[in-house]
Amino acid sequence: MLIKPPPELPPSEITPRKLFEARRSFLAHTALGLTAGAALWHGLPVHAASRLDGRPSPHSTTEPLTAHKAVTGYNNFYEFGTDKADPARHAAKMQVRPWTLRVEGLAARPRSFDLDDVLKLAPLEERIYRLRCVEGWSMVIPWLGFPLAAVLKEVEPLGSAKYVEFVSHYDPAIMLRRPVLDWPYREGLRLDEALHPLTILALGLYGEALPNQNGAPLRLVVPWKYGFKSAKSIVAIRLVEHQPATAWNLAAPQEYGFYSNVNPQVAHPRWSQASERRIGELRKRPTLMFNGYAEQVAGLYRGMDLAKEF
């Protein structure tokens, strides 16, 4: 995986929290919210229909947000190129409407969802999460989404389902920058990780529908794991009995484990994970165990040797 220093974003580019909260209040009072979200999927002009709103969540951090410009312009989405600016340059070619999400495998009621169906599953919430990249940089992002558990509940997982596999969209006609991985991109979680309240299916950020470069129209967000675990532009979710193969683990198993929990005590083979650089800040800060979500998720890994099962 390429390592490049993050951009030197001045503090003036960080969105003031008061400004962002005032904007959210405006959206609520102009009755956008879910209605506007539904309008988006019905093909209204982007400028009129890309706004979303979600109710506040107790799971959100109160840390300052990373600048919108950085969140939408500094991305890893290798299907569109390995430079951080490539996804914003090239992902607009990806068609995200109509979109079908298949949820299949070991389920009593496997089914497909279009985006209207997805939006009806649960109210949107604003989840302000820390995002820690395996490359050593981090962001704080105001996602809009709802617990992945709401989707899985709809299909009724069978008792034999132990893991969840996620498959991302892949169109070789527009995603041909480099053969970095074996496409389509695949990720996986244990079923209890997938059902955890912190794990969400996101459809927006910063009060708007997800930009293509951030994984439109829907993506996974698992805040206590390195960012590459949060698969983008998902087309299939599969309930399976055995641990699924994942894209980065297949490419370099010695560097990218299946769990990939943020862990400052376990170095990547080529660099330390003890500290990170928050985009927009000049100095590094210590990395927190499970990205600061240890109180909520450490119990999932009780009894495991996290140096071996990394």
Could you tell me the pLDDT band of residue 37, with boundaries at 50, 70 and 90?
Answer: very low
Please say whether the beta carbons of 115 and 249 come within 8 A. Answer: no
Bigger pLDDT: 60 or 24?
A: 60
Residue 276 is assigned to a ligand binding site: no
Please say whether the beta carbons of 139 and 227 come within 8 A. Answer: no
| Distance in angstroms (rounded) separating the CA atoms of residues 274 and 288 | 8
| Distance in angstroms (rounded) separating the CA atoms of residues 214 and 9 | 19
Residue 212 is assigned to a ligand binding site: no
User: In the chain, what percentage of residues exceed pLDDT 90?
Assistant: 81
Residue 263 is assigned to a ligand binding site: no
Residue 112 is assigned to a ligand binding site: no
Residue 214 is assigned to a ligand binding site: yes
**Structure tokens of 275?**
């500290």
Residues 6+ apart with CB under 8 A from 299: none
| Distance in angstroms (rounded) separating the CA atoms of residues 51 and 285 | 33
> What is the dihedral sign for C-alpha 210, 73, 250, 198?
negative
What pTM was computed for the model? 0.86
Domains of the chain (ranges, CATH numbers): 68-300 (3.90.420.10)
**Structure tokens of 66?**
């990373």
Residue 260 is assigned to a ligand binding site: no
Lowest mean pLDDT among 42-51, 74-83, 109-118, 179-188: 42-51
Residue 160 is assigned to a ligand binding site: no
| Distance in angstroms (rounded) separating the CA atoms of residues 60 and 147 | 13
Strand order of the sheet with strand 163-168?
111-114, 100-105, 234-240, 163-168, 186-190
User: pLDDT (tens digit, 9 = 90+) per residue, 201-252?
Assistant: 999 999 999 999 999 999 999 999 999 999 999 999 999 999 999 999 999 9
pLDDT of residue 51: 86
